[in-house]
Structure 1
């Protein structure tokens, strides 16, 4: 009898697990950007909480589960993590990972061959745009660095940097945005005095700084703060090699201020994906985030909420958690026609879809209309240190 009871209990547990809707969420919980990653993961969990509190999935209210794995902002770790999520956890789709190199590697090696949709929250490398050949399985809720690199070049020129040295970490994300920046900057009439790669995670970059520092007072730095960026900037400040610093979101962290001191960052500014805080969608998102204690405007945080909510909407619209055909539904719920759905409005969206209607999600990160490559236009901000903290301003 005891054996029978245990077997029955196990069968019931298995049935319950199968009744849930599971998505995979590979995140950079370790690696070079854990501080940046932490609120992004919280936003994913908040979206899942709203979905489950407002009726769950489908007519019988199945639980929407986020199964997290550590991609460590590393291509090899991401492949391993997503392989387990897809083949062992049997997730319907992937939301994340957060780093471009990880997103590219797992998509090429695992998710695309398996026919599983990936919706990245912050992987912004231009290489994602054209990596598919007719599969339509890779999307993202943040703009490509094909746009951010241009915005950064315009910012450099607007600040009078008519010549600049470029140093970029030798990885998929930083090399790609540096290339876009250089092309755009030179096209605007700027002079690139040096354009050098640096290897991540070195104990010192004094030799690199000395070489490129002799060519310009201005440095465009493309690196992750936790894998060499802080060290390189420290070496540059110690030697007085540069007067001005600009760069992209891999460097935008409180750790930079903590390590280098706010007083030493007066002439530093970095761009990142941003939200237009004048929209109703952002106001709605901010109220939800504030209530949950999540920084609404931090880099890629609204993008993560939007990606999770969108994926749930797509699965709900599909009527099942089958992988096949999900991309078509993802495109449908992200754009017109359809009744506008704002962050947190799961119950409203669920009712519309149940009646055979259409929805159009407008997110905290902005309009999430995917183009033919799965890209969105997005917005960018520039951040500078004011009163000891980063202060962001939307780039119009």
Structure 2
């Protein structure tokens, strides 16, 4: 499967997903959910397509609370202002009570604080990892309306430090995106590296859309680091790495999952990325996670190799199940309150497909609870709406990326405890 044909499959998924999900749809009412996702960037389209796929499966199972679900999708452009404006339109004009989004903590946070919490709308993020959300919840400022299916930045930061240790690097420079996510993971990885006795020669912020990053790269090169850690996005990442290499920087690079992108690989050149090791959270080695890979491949013609795809699927499915549990006309607060009823370890296990959704509808209608077995495993949220997850190390290949090491949840937790 070529990159071009994969993109065609994604576009087809987005296009057909806005139509009815199949002959099983007989509802005479429509319930809207909102989605603020970065469809204008190469790696964002599959995230949106995956969310729409979950909506299609729910509709195939008869919809939610007796109504067909329509996902109203707006592009965030990975820009906080654009994201907030999109979220406001979805809440004020479309009247959504559940919002999927966003990608990037720097976009999700202002949506949460200025749109969804004030309006009492539930927000379910697939791809926001900043620990600032945890702090906000602990202060009672999320009002129980925020959930995310992506583990906190602490996991990727710890695994990034683990990579540096395993590679024997004695010094590392850090380049991070200057937003909530980048600042958070940059701070955490610096702390973990230093806890391992690895010198952090510099930590430099990267702002969006600069004509040149020579000054930032020059600053990061001071101290002649053995390796570079990056928590930035593909567009800026391409420019940064080109500057880094042209100024004599090492090809020993450790990257967060935001750079797990064909766009970044192709624009930099695979020949310069041979020593690059990526990190990401991962699905557990479970039957439900394997089933999602097969399901996704059958739908889109390629395995889910991009960032956030399994997380996007689970975020959407869990949100829709909570809407089903809350019933017709439920408010965002009522929907959020039902998340525990569809991720209950003592509930009836259900699969992450149309058949599982149908079974969940029956169980919930009878007053029971269900335990969603998803693309990221058996999803369980803590009191702050956070999840834990295993992790992987990966490398770039000619056709995408490949996993090089799997780190179990127990191993992740043990390592994180050791660096604390």
Scaled by the length of structure 1, the TM-score of the pair is 0.90
Are 1:202 and 2:210 matched, yes or no? yes
- The Cα offsets for residues 251-306 of structure 1, whole Å up to 9 and x where unpaired, read as 22111221121111011112122223x31111221222112115334321011111
In 2, Cα distance between equivalents of 1:140 and 1:327: 12
The aligned runs of 1:358-369 (5 Å cut-off) are 358-369=369-380
Question: Mean Cα displacement is larger for which, 236-245 or 300-309?
Answer: 236-245
- The Cα offsets for residues 202-239 of structure 1, whole Å up to 9 and x where unpaired, read as 2322233233223113111221111x111110111122
In 1, Cα distance between equivalents of 2:104 and 2:328: 29
The aligned runs of 1:174-213 (5 Å cut-off) are 174-213=182-221
- Structure 1 counterpart of 2:30: 20
State which of 234, 239, 251 in structure 2 corresponds to 1:225: 234
Q: Is the 8 A contact 2:258 2:307 kept in 1?
A: no
- The Cα offsets for residues 328-355 of structure 1, whole Å up to 9 and x where unpaired, read as 2012212311111121021111121122
- Report the count of equivalent residues: 374
Shift of 1:17: 10
Question: Mean Cα displacement is larger for which, 280-289 or 308-317?
Answer: 280-289
SS at match of 1:23: strand
In 1, Cα distance between equivalents of 2:166 and 2:34: 42
Gaps of 5+ in 2: 1-25, 409-420
State which of 40, 44, 47 in structure 2 corresponds to 1:40: 47
Question: Mean Cα displacement is larger for which, 319-328 or 339-348?
Answer: 319-328
Are 1:65 and 2:70 matched, yes or no? yes
SS at match of 1:314: helix
The aligned runs of 1:179-328 (5 Å cut-off) are 179-215=187-223, 216-226=225-235, 228-276=236-284, 278-293=285-300, 295-323=303-331, 324-328=333-337
- Structure 2 counterpart of 1:118: 123
In 1, Cα distance between equivalents of 2:371 and 2:232: 36
Shift of 1:388: 5.7
Shift of 1:160: 0.8
- Structure 1 counterpart of 2:366: 355
Question: Mean Cα displacement is larger for which, 140-149 or 240-249?
Answer: 240-249
Given the superposition, is the C-alpha separation of residues 57 and 197 from structure 1 closer, same or farther in structure 2, using an over 3 Å criterion?
Answer: closer
In 2, Cα distance between equivalents of 1:295 and 1:321: 37
SS at match of 1:131: helix
SS at match of 2:338: helix
Given the superposition, is the C-alpha separation of residues 129 and 248 from structure 1 closer, same or farther in structure 2, using an over 3 Å criterion?
Answer: same
SS at match of 2:147: strand
SS at match of 2:87: helix
- The Cα offsets for residues 77-105 of structure 1, whole Å up to 9 and x where unpaired, read as 11111111111100121111112111000
Scaled by the length of structure 2, the TM-score of the pair is 0.85
State which of 97, 108, 116 in structure 1 corresponds to 2:113: 108
Shift of 1:320: 2.2
